[in-house]
Amino acid sequence: MDGGAQYNPRTVEEVFRDFKGRRAGMIKALTTDVEEFYQQCDPDKENLCLYGFPSEQWEVNLPAEEVPPELPEPALGINFARDGMQEKDWLSLVAVHSDAWLLSVAFYFGARFGFDKSDRKRLFSLINDLPTIFEVVTGAAKKQVKEKSSVSNHSGNKSMSNSKVRGSESQGKYSKVMQPKDEEEGLDEEDEDEHGETLCGACGENYASDEFWICCDICEKWFHGKCVKITPARAEHIKQYKCPSCSNKRARP
């Protein structure tokens, strides 16, 4: 077992390619090859790990003997829990640990080869555009794709291009919604520059062009849709959006 470390990806694109290959192998183990994977995870054996390789192959094996290992190690002893829980719950647990391992390997390469802040952000953005292994195994990924498809069909003129300047009197009904970049091709560099310093009123994180945001019509603060539990589809039916804080306040006379 070589842990897939026969070569060292040195650019963001190479690390992402490495990530996708390992991810594909692990998804294969937990879906199409699940019977074989289940059999290999014998609870009577020693601590076993699930490895994914850049070649899109997977392997169940003992952890590396060298300490510290050349690459971060996957979760140990996944086989011990196999017979102690429902199979789907066990597979979901392995999927969660596999997601964590993939991220640790990707950012290990990033740290090793000196990725700066923008490189790390770009790498995470590429990774984050893919469903997690957990989402694939549990079926959540299919649900998200269906929802995204539905939103894309209704995007039209309700675009972020109508919301370049916050508070502008010329903005229409949908001006308080920032659509994700992949759903609105009309987004240009000027939009990104203007919203780049916008912070979410709930979590305090910066605006990113690949995320859905909505603005409160009362306090005019921007929020991640996920932070206030508003989806793009739901936002289309809201005439005046009030954030949780403003909703809890008394209406002014």
Helix axes 12-30, 87-112, angle to 10 degrees: 170
| pLDDT for the residue numbered 220 | 85
Helix axes 117-128, 87-112, angle to 10 degrees: 160
Contacts of 175 (CB under 8 A, 6+ apart): 162, 163, 168
| pLDDT for the residue numbered 168 | 33
| pLDDT for the residue numbered 223 | 83
DSSP 83-110: GGS-HHHHHHHHHHHHHHHHHHHHHHHH
| pLDDT for the residue numbered 210 | 75
CA–CA gap between residue 71 and residue 106 (Å, rounded): 10
Pairing assessment for the beta strands 177-178 and 58-61 based on DSSP bridges: unpaired
| pLDDT for the residue numbered 174 | 41
Write out the two tokens for 86: 């429902």
| pLDDT for the residue numbered 239 | 81
Indicate the residue type of 42.
Answer: D
Query: Could you tell me the pTM of the whole model?
Result: 0.56
Q: What is the pLDDT along the chain (253 residues), one digit of tens a residue?
A: 444 444 567 899 999 999 999 999 999 999 999 999 999 999 999 999 999 999 999 999 999 888 888 899 999 999 999 999 999 999 999 999 999 999 999 999 999 999 999 999 999 999 999 999 999 999 886 666 555 555 555 443 333 433 333 333 333 334 455 655 554 444 455 554 555 567 887 777 776 777 788 888 888 888 888 888 888 888 888 888 888 777 776 544 4
* C-alpha 54, offset from chain centre: 20
